Amino acid sequence: MALPILLLAFIFNVLAVTSAPVNAAYTICGLAPNAHVNSARGGCTYPYNGFRWMQVGPGTIYKISNTCRTPEESSLRADFATQLSGNGSGAFATTWPSGWHIERYPNLNACQTSTTVDNLVDIKLDWQAYATWYGAGRGNYGGVTSSVLGSAAWCATFGDPWPCGFHISTIQLNQYRFNNVYTAAYGTQVLMHEVGHAMGFNDYCGGGMSPYNSISENDSDCGGAFGHYQPIDRSRIVDTIYKNR
């Protein structure tokens, strides 16, 4: 039985670092329709996908975290700003001339632990201890991300009709692997990949893309430039997710 289009469905993406292979049928949002996404969400384009602030604002994502992990957070914010900068020519620079940034919240100037989701928060990082992560039956991978459309009441606070993008995207992270398995650089790549999911990209491998690299490529199954935003990601953000901006 098909789900009603008005049902607030979750997108659930698993980072497959030594986990089950990614279904080759999955495609990057905006390159080709993904049946799971489209059946419940109405497609890859805002307002059924993405963040409201990217549609109407300068390109800032607000993040909270249940744990202050300053090295990873600092590297994530720096790499994200560099890889999604507004420098250069093209539609991305025209649409977001200052690029995209991830900001701490509620304190923009220092790492601060918070689990309070208010109207401005886009992403919640949920660092999970060994017992919590593996007790939930998860395997030896780095993170899982789920996103849900904001409620009609949330949209109404901005004078917007429903839907009006994701509120909120939650990234659950395997703290044990970050502490004991990953290098600092690889941990940042895992975070970058999961933020890609939070913004609406599904795990994806290979065919149909030129070049075959994307933030969505899943390390153990793809062998591409894992954890790095590529030109195709920037173009799909402009051409598909926020094409009506």
Per residue in 109-142, pLDDT (tens digit) is 888 898 999 999 999 999 999 999 999 999 998 9
Residue 105 within any structural domain of the chain: yes
* 134 C-beta neighbours (distance < 10 Å), count: 14
State the number of CA atoms in the 13 A half-sphere of 113 facing the CB.
6
What local confidence, expressed as pLDDT, does residue 221 receive? 52
Residue 16 within any structural domain of the chain: yes
CA distances for 90 relative to 72, 75, 87, 93, angstroms: 30, 26, 9, 6
What local confidence, expressed as pLDDT, does residue 142 receive? 92
Report yes or no: 35 and 44 within 8 Å, Cβ to Cβ: no
Residue 99 within any structural domain of the chain: yes
State the number of CA atoms in the 13 A half-sphere of 203 facing the CB.
26
Residue 72 within any structural domain of the chain: yes
1 pLDDT above the threshold of 80:
no
Q: Which domain holds residue 25?
A: 11-237
Q: Which residue has better confidence, 44 or 208? A: 44
| Axis-axis angle for helices 70-83, 184-198 (nearest 10) | 60
Run of H or E including 143: strand 143-149
Report yes or no: 2 and 183 within 8 Å, Cβ to Cβ: no
Choose the weakest-confidence range: 128-137, 140-149, 165-174: 140-149
Run of H or E including 168: strand 166-174
What local confidence, expressed as pLDDT, does residue 213 receive? 65
Helix (H, G, I), strand (E, B) or coil at 160: coil
Mean pLDDT across the chain: 77
| Partners of 126 in the β-ladder | 172
| Residue-wise pLDDT tens digits, 197-211 | 888 776 655 444 444
State the number of CA atoms in the 13 A half-sphere of 154 facing the CB.
18
| Residue-wise pLDDT tens digits, 228-243 | 887 778 887 888 788 8
CATH for 66? 3.40.390.10
Report yes or no: 125 and 173 within 8 Å, Cβ to Cβ: yes
| Partners of 102 in the β-ladder | 61
How many domains does the chain contain in total? 1
Residue 6 within any structural domain of the chain: no
Residue 77 within any structural domain of the chain: yes
8 pLDDT above the threshold of 50:
no
Residue 201 within any structural domain of the chain: yes
Tokens encoding 108: 């923009």
How far is 240 from 139, CA to CA, in rounded Å?
A: 33
The sheet with strand 143-149 has its strands ordered as 11-14, 143-149, 166-174, 123-128, 60-65, 101-104
Residue 182 within any structural domain of the chain: yes
